[in-house]
Structure 1
């Protein structure tokens, strides 16, 4: 065994260096920066901390707890298809690593997976250089390290699912090289299919690149001089045909995922696509040069910036020399130049940039396809180096002058991510590479080693500078929040095993429901179906293209969407001040809640990261909303930080309703009116008095403010600009009803500060629709003061109206709907079975499940046609009386996708066995 290992190392040591040098380099940086487990920082920053980490927790839950969530989950807003989310975030084969780590060590798993993927990208690139371009020794390792640690990798390592593209791209290109050279496309199709399965988004960019690369390589194919043009033409046609055929088969191999994902995209991300092109330049082309310098990155480059093109001095100089390297034909070099011009234009021209990003401009992380540009430069830089005779005097002079001019330009430019030290380091490394290329013809045995060492140091410095400019999430805070949330969710679920939804006044991310595995409403993902944010935006909630924050619920929306349990921070002023009266009111009603605050098991204690008592005590919840309505709910338990409430008005997942709900359309910026209409329509009582009654403030107090009124709008302006200015609205409720205030979307966090009874009023900051603010509940006789403090000189309040929810009428309506509610007897993420007793006047079974073609409904064993209410929710016609209801979900196009995958696999095998043998035998 030892001899086998020695032989393996002797033969494969360049590839081992390509893997282990990036691994050790990044590990060393993580150690010095204190990344967990070497310190208290974690990699959970930006989207990795706000989205991906929660999806990784869900990934484990799917394998270990409930495989049905692979298809559908009620942790995704009010429910949603999951295959599209898997295809975008989770289908990387390397994610299996998460199964080896406990739930409490998921941040450690992320660190290990990041190291593994980046190191594997170096290995796969080295394998390409060895097999396709006869790469050997330290030079193979040097270029592989440049690829693994290039600027794109370091900057985008937080988008961990994109790193699969760096691993599989070299293997796909290796397959393409074999297809062109040997007419064998099996390897190409297999790795293309794997890439499309692992991440279709990055695979799309790779597919566009492959077209460019194939044309480039086809143009550069050389034939013996005596080869007839007909033979050349025939060979070219065969290569084109095989490329198209094997590309189609590669896509077909991933059909089991791609077809359902396509259907999901048409309901989500693709539904926002506009085929409109902007032919403007994003910036002057010369500014792109700034990204060729060491450490050319800071946090501001993440939301918007220049493309990440840093590949190191050796690779860059070698690539530039490629265009003057006469070892390659002029035809090939001109083709490479044309490809690079296309890439450079694409990295600037808005229209081309949009095409590369699947017809949508990226939100954050600009120029996500720049890794294929770096790949192209690295491959041809390596090919040039291996056939380069060394720099001549004129080449040396031009190179040094060019380096100096570019450095001078960057030094005088306004690039806040580049300091003088970075420019000096870049010049130093470039000049050293130029010097070594001058003496390359001497073939010193130590020369490759020096190139390797220089490249390793340079790429390591770049990684250190880039990563030092990111802020990291505190590991202890993550651990405290994770364990506390898990404990409370487990407690509720242990107490109540029925189906319900849970919401909170606080959050770590909008995907907490995936982290702790519970049905919720708040959600954020790039594959979020647009109908649900549209619905909740119309109802007065903060939403966007891909997110929904359930932070502005009313008693009606809480009841309608089956939010049976609510969690709130204990020190909320609007709860603390009435805590004694609440305890008295709920005396004798409080259930016994078996909290998971019980001592952890020995295994849990060993695998859970240790947090000091001081850190636990200092931890604070991130508050999302102010919600006095919680006073109307029954407090059923508490922990050190959290109250848990039960909403006894929560409607079941499905209930009988009037068919009038089918005629209700969403209203823009009229959330109270929409909620009013919905409740009237559900009960069929459209002539009843209003549930939401318009009310007036008793008084208004102005401080340093003048006002002017227009239709439905009041403008408030500071009198003295540098002094504090505010408007305070007061009223005294004569009942314990809930009171709500509508706030127009033009009022943002940067414009005002909000206060309720002297305490900050918390509101989720990002919103685009009119909001509903909850100001009072169970406050009879109390003076309520809502204060708006102006940050700007002028603000405009549009449709600023106070409403009182008539609790008597509301309770009566909810109880009438509950009588036709579904009693769920069996349920899972993809199926429900239960009984209903539909009342007179109820001819629709209303659900709060998002409408989808995948849901099939049977009533008393008979399939019924589903319909859509509120432009988003699943409903079915139903008759009065008792019925058995069955709902089952099947992923649209999943069966067809499975057939496509099997058919493609069979055709690929048949092609490999028959067609390629025919080509090799010279019979084609």
Structure 2
């Protein structure tokens, strides 16, 4: 062993440098930035903090607590297929490392995995250079470091699942090189299959790149001069056939995931796809040059910006020198130029950009495929360097002039992400690299070391500048929120082990339900089924393509969607105005809290990050909504920061309903009318009274505002532009009923300020449908004032109407529906078993499970045909009386995908064994 290790280091030290130099550089940057455990910062920024971190908690829960959630989870909004979400976010083999970290150290796990992936990308690229292109020494390490720390990597390290593409791309290309050179495609198929399994989205971009790269390599293949053209043509056809065959096998290997993911995409992300192409340019081509400079990045480049192309001076200069290097055939260089022109056009022309992103323009993180362009530039640059005889005087002069000209252009263009120092540094590094290339033919032993040191310093500077321009979630705030939410959820679930949903009037992210493992409604992901946001948007909630915020629930929607427990921030001034009734479960919840707290003290203190008392004192929850309706619910218990309520109106997940519900259609921007129609249909229209009663305001007070009305629209305009202006709507409830107003989607947070009885009215700010705002409950005799402060000179209120929910009529409806509710005796994420007593007039078993072909239902052991209600919910016909209900979920196309994977493995084995001619 003593002899083996020094021998290994002696032979593999360039590869070791390729791994450890990026690891050390990034570690030093994290240490100086105070990333936990070296400070109070974390790597949680943008989507990593708002989406992925919650999914990683869910990842651990799936392995350790409930494997069935791999297929389906009720933490995904009101329920949803999970295989597509896994394929998009979670199937990286490196995610297994999350299992080694406790739940409370999930941010530390993210840091470690990020470091590992960045370092492995350098090692992977170095391995490609060594095995396919005879790379050695410090030059191999220098180019590998450039690849690991290129601008794309640093900027997108928060999209941690995309980093797998940087690791596997060199290995796939290594397999492709062997396929072209030796007609051996086994390695290519295996790594292509792994990449497709790890992240199909980035793998799609890699597949497009592989087509371009294969054409480039096929054209550049050289044959002995005496080779006949028929032989060349035959060899080319064989190579093309092997490329197609092994590409299909690679895709087939991942079939167990790809087929069900395809079905999921058809229900979610792909359902938004429009096959329309915009043939406009996104920006003038010369502006792309700005991204070749050190630190060419700021936060504004995330939502929209230029492609990340920084690869370092050594790789960049060497890449451009390739086109003048006669060591490579003219046809190869022309093909490489054509490929590069195609890449450059793709990073600007909107139509090509859309194709690269799977027919959808990216929302944030533009030009996500630019890493394959950087890879091509780095690989081509390395090949040139290995066959470059050094710069000649004319080349040197041209290089200096071009570098100075580009630097002058970027300096004068005044890009907001590039400062003078960055321009100077970039030009200086390029000049030094050019000088070293001039003396390269002298083959001084120190020159490779100089290239290596310069590259290391330059790439490290770029990483530091880029990362310093992002803001991150404080570790203390994350820990306090995580432990506080865990305590509340654990106590509720310890007290009540039935199926129900939980919601909150505050949030850290829209995926808190994944973080703390509970069925909720609020959700955000790229694989969110389209029908659910459409349903909730029609009901008056903030939704978008991929997200839903349950911030505008009424008593009706809380009951309908089984929101049995509600957690509220404690410092809610409006709720504090009235004493809350204590629920019958208050004692049970208190005992549950005590058990939870006792259990938490038994944990190893090292597993839970310590938080100072000062930080605990100033920590505040991020309110998402104002909800006076909570005053109608029973208060069960409280912690330092939260209060837990029980909703006595919550219906079961499945309950008896009139078949009239099957005929209810969604309405556009009529949420109260839709909720009225749903209640009437569920109860068979048996109640003559309206549930929601239109009500007038008693008075309207204008401050510096003039108004005019036209139909159902009111125009409010400031009289004096620079003075405060507002409209206040007042009324005094004569009952304790709940009151709601509707707010049109043209009114945004930047247009108005909302106040309820003098306190800021909290509302989730992103929405596209008409909203329902809860402004009163249990307020008989109180004067209610809803004030709209104008930020703009003019606002238009459309369909602004006050409604009263008749509590007696609503209570009667709820009681009749609860009587026909399903008693769930046994359940998991994919299975429900129980009994139901269907009442007279109820001939449909209505559920709040999203409709999917994956759900099958048996009534009294007999399979029944499922139906779709409200354009997105599962329902089945049923008859009056007592019945046994069994519901099962099977992921569509999962079995077919498994068969495809098995067949592909067998085919790959057959190819390897029987086609020995090409192996």
Give the TM-score band, short-chain normalised: over 0.9
1:227 matches 2:215:
no
Q: 1:703 to 1:13 in 2, by over 3 A?
A: same
Match in the other structure for 2:834 = 834
**Worse-superposed segment, 493-502 or 604-613:** 604-613
- Which whole-Å CA distance do the structure 2 matches of 1:10 and 1:309 have between them? 34
Q: Could you tell me how far 1:689 is from its partner in structure 2?
A: 1.7
Match in the other structure for 1:188 = 188
Q: Could you tell me how far 1:624 is from its partner in structure 2?
A: 0.1
Q: Could you tell me how far 1:913 is from its partner in structure 2?
A: 1.0
Match in the other structure for 2:873 = 873
Match in the other structure for 2:462 = 462
Match in the other structure for 2:618 = 618
Deviations 1:219-246 (A, max 9, x none): 0000000000000000000000000000
Q: 1:80 to 1:586 in 2, by over 3 A?
A: closer
Deviations 1:232-262 (A, max 9, x none): 0000000000000000000000000000000
Q: Could you tell me how far 1:837 is from its partner in structure 2?
A: 0.6
Match in the other structure for 1:654 = 654
Deviations 1:180-207 (A, max 9, x none): 0000000000000000000000000000
Indicate if the aligned counterparts of 2:492 and 2:589 stay in contact, CA closer than 8 A.
no
- Which whole-Å CA distance do the structure 1 matches of 2:394 and 2:645 have between them? 79
Deviations 1:48-79 (A, max 9, x none): 00000000000000000110000000000000
- Which whole-Å CA distance do the structure 1 matches of 2:248 and 2:909 have between them? 14
Deviations 1:123-160 (A, max 9, x none): 00000000000000000000000000000000000000
- Which whole-Å CA distance do the structure 2 matches of 1:368 and 1:170 have between them? 17
Match in the other structure for 1:92 = 92
What secondary structure does 1:827 align onto?
A: strand
Indicate if the aligned counterparts of 1:680 and 1:688 stay in contact, CA closer than 8 A.
no
Match in the other structure for 2:556 = 556
What secondary structure does 1:816 align onto?
A: helix
Indicate if the aligned counterparts of 2:586 and 2:637 stay in contact, CA closer than 8 A.
no
Q: Could you tell me how far 1:605 is from its partner in structure 2?
A: 2.2
Match in the other structure for 2:139 = 139
- Which whole-Å CA distance do the structure 2 matches of 1:105 and 1:638 have between them? 26
Match in the other structure for 1:919 = 918
State how 1:227-626 maps to structure 2 within 5 Å. Answer: 227-579=227-579, 582-583=580-581, 591-593=588-590, 594-595=592-593, 596-598=596-598, 600-626=600-626
Match in the other structure for 1:46 = 46
- Which whole-Å CA distance do the structure 2 matches of 1:903 and 1:358 have between them? 27
Match in the other structure for 1:858 = 858
Match in the other structure for 1:113 = 113
Deviations 1:87-130 (A, max 9, x none): 00000000011000000000000000000000000000000000
- Which whole-Å CA distance do the structure 2 matches of 1:306 and 1:829 have between them? 43
- Which whole-Å CA distance do the structure 1 matches of 2:634 and 2:818 have between them? 18
- Which whole-Å CA distance do the structure 1 matches of 2:912 and 2:168 have between them? 21
Q: Could you tell me how far 1:506 is from its partner in structure 2?
A: 0.3
- Which whole-Å CA distance do the structure 1 matches of 2:585 and 2:767 have between them? 41
Q: Could you tell me how far 1:600 is from its partner in structure 2?
A: 2.6
What secondary structure does 1:541 align onto?
A: coil
State how 1:522-921 maps to structure 2 within 5 Å. Answer: 522-579=522-579, 582-583=580-581, 591-593=588-590, 594-595=592-593, 596-598=596-598, 600-685=600-685, 688-915=688-915, 917-919=916-918
- Which whole-Å CA distance do the structure 2 matches of 1:863 and 1:511 have between them? 34
- Which whole-Å CA distance do the structure 1 matches of 2:884 and 2:890 have between them? 20
What secondary structure does 1:112 align onto?
A: helix
What secondary structure does 1:720 align onto?
A: coil
Match in the other structure for 2:28 = 28
Match in the other structure for 1:207 = 207
Q: 1:488 to 1:411 in 2, by over 3 A?
A: same
- Which whole-Å CA distance do the structure 1 matches of 2:275 and 2:95 have between them? 34
Q: 1:589 to 1:36 in 2, by over 3 A?
A: closer
- Which whole-Å CA distance do the structure 2 matches of 1:526 and 1:815 have between them? 38
- Which whole-Å CA distance do the structure 2 matches of 1:182 and 1:606 have between them? 53
- Which whole-Å CA distance do the structure 2 matches of 1:2 and 1:144 have between them? 29
Q: Could you tell me how far 1:586 is from its partner in structure 2?
A: 5.8
Deviations 1:782-835 (A, max 9, x none): 000000000000000000000000000000001001111100000000000000
Q: Could you tell me how far 1:597 is from its partner in structure 2?
A: 3.5
Unpaired runs of at least 5, structure 2: none
- Which whole-Å CA distance do the structure 1 matches of 2:713 and 2:414 have between them? 43
Q: Could you tell me how far 1:687 is from its partner in structure 2?
A: 6.3
Indicate if the aligned counterparts of 2:655 and 2:845 stay in contact, CA closer than 8 A.
yes
Indicate if the aligned counterparts of 2:495 and 2:588 stay in contact, CA closer than 8 A.
no
Deviations 1:544-601 (A, max 9, x none): 000000000000000000000000011111111113xx24x76997654321344733
Indicate if the aligned counterparts of 1:697 and 1:730 stay in contact, CA closer than 8 A.
yes
What secondary structure does 2:417 align onto?
A: coil
What secondary structure does 1:41 align onto?
A: coil
Indicate if the aligned counterparts of 1:303 and 1:364 stay in contact, CA closer than 8 A.
yes
What secondary structure does 2:574 align onto?
A: helix
Match in the other structure for 1:65 = 65
Unpaired runs of at least 5, structure 1: none
Indicate if the aligned counterparts of 2:216 and 2:336 stay in contact, CA closer than 8 A.
yes
- Which whole-Å CA distance do the structure 1 matches of 2:636 and 2:723 have between them? 46
Match in the other structure for 1:178 = 178
What secondary structure does 2:874 align onto?
A: strand
TM-score with structure 1 setting the length? 0.98
1:167 matches 2:167:
yes
Please give the root-mean-square deviation of Cα atoms over the aligned residues, in Å: 0.9
Deviations 1:335-369 (A, max 9, x none): 00000000000000000000000000000000000
- Which whole-Å CA distance do the structure 2 matches of 1:8 and 1:587 have between them? 69
- Which whole-Å CA distance do the structure 2 matches of 1:525 and 1:588 have between them? 35
Q: Could you tell me how far 1:914 is from its partner in structure 2?
A: 1.1
Q: 1:884 to 1:421 in 2, by over 3 A?
A: same
- Which whole-Å CA distance do the structure 1 matches of 2:754 and 2:651 have between them? 32
1:4 matches 2:4:
yes
What secondary structure does 1:415 align onto?
A: coil
- Which whole-Å CA distance do the structure 1 matches of 2:799 and 2:372 have between them? 51
- Which whole-Å CA distance do the structure 2 matches of 1:707 and 1:198 have between them? 58
Indicate if the aligned counterparts of 1:84 and 1:527 stay in contact, CA closer than 8 A.
yes
Indicate if the aligned counterparts of 1:196 and 1:251 stay in contact, CA closer than 8 A.
yes
- Which whole-Å CA distance do the structure 2 matches of 1:720 and 1:19 have between them? 64
Q: Could you tell me how far 1:919 is from its partner in structure 2?
A: 3.1
- Which whole-Å CA distance do the structure 2 matches of 1:79 and 1:688 have between them? 34
- Which whole-Å CA distance do the structure 1 matches of 2:570 and 2:376 have between them? 57
Indicate if the aligned counterparts of 2:491 and 2:589 stay in contact, CA closer than 8 A.
no
Indicate if the aligned counterparts of 2:184 and 2:918 stay in contact, CA closer than 8 A.
no
What secondary structure does 1:49 align onto?
A: helix
- Which whole-Å CA distance do the structure 2 matches of 1:208 and 1:373 have between them? 11
